[in-house]
Amino acid sequence: MGKTKKTSVKRTLITGLIILTPILVSVWLVRFVFVQIHHSITPALLHLLRLFGVGPWLETTFVNIGAPIFSVALAGLFIYFLGLLGGNVIGRQLLEWFERLLMQIPVVRGIYSATRQFLETFSRENNQAFRKVVLVEYPRKGLWTMALLTNDTRGEVAQTYEEPMVSVFVPTTPNPTSGWLLFVPKKDVVELSMSVDDAFKMIISGGVLTPEKPAPKPASNQA
């Protein structure tokens, strides 16, 4: 009886943790973005206020109340403007010109390119960047890791190995946005039937959330 009660308490605590963790992560992310915007825009706004000769009381009031609200609103308008700009032909041409300019700077080129590709990959609808969920033996024989199949390996990497290979992304727990890229022989990859969304849930929860294997579809009766 005592063991059953302990198990029930443990499950209840885990359920509460699963509910609370996404909320805390969301609050932390919003707070982080808010602080970054506030620290970036507020100094410029204060400089403008001082140019107009405002008093210390107004400046203090603005720092404590007005600046955070105005900074976030201004940042939101700027992001919305960029979205409008990227949605028409002239805007896309301007953004492409600016992108070509950034790609000419050695250090900035690598950071910008990697960041943009990363965001485009994880913002695609229905996780179209990942084709299937697979298991691979990693980091050694006998240990299996869940990975996401991205594509067949091509180019120089594929040419250095005689057998067909695939590229897989091994996400980390509980943050699946980081991980490792592995090139695995196609014969050593075990494909799973679970969806990419279910795989992310399992990875983020550290295996606490385990999706059920989908039932096989009944064969259609053909006349």
Tens of pLDDT, residue by residue, the chain (223 residues) = 566 666 677 777 766 766 677 677 767 777 777 777 777 777 777 777 667 766 565 556 666 666 667 767 777 777 777 777 767 777 777 777 877 887 788 777 777 776 666 666 555 554 456 778 999 999 888 899 999 998 888 888 888 888 899 999 998 887 777 788 999 999 999 999 888 888 888 888 888 877 777 656 555 554 4
- Name the amino acid, one letter, at 3: K
Residue 166: predicted pLDDT: 92
**Phi-psi region for residue 126, left (φ > 0), alpha (ψ -120 to 50) or beta?**
left
- Name the amino acid, one letter, at 102: L
Residue 7: predicted pLDDT: 67
Strands 132-137 and 144-152, how do they pair? antiparallel
Residue 127: predicted pLDDT: 47
What are the Cα distances from residue 144, in Å, to 1, 51, 140, 158?
36, 63, 8, 23
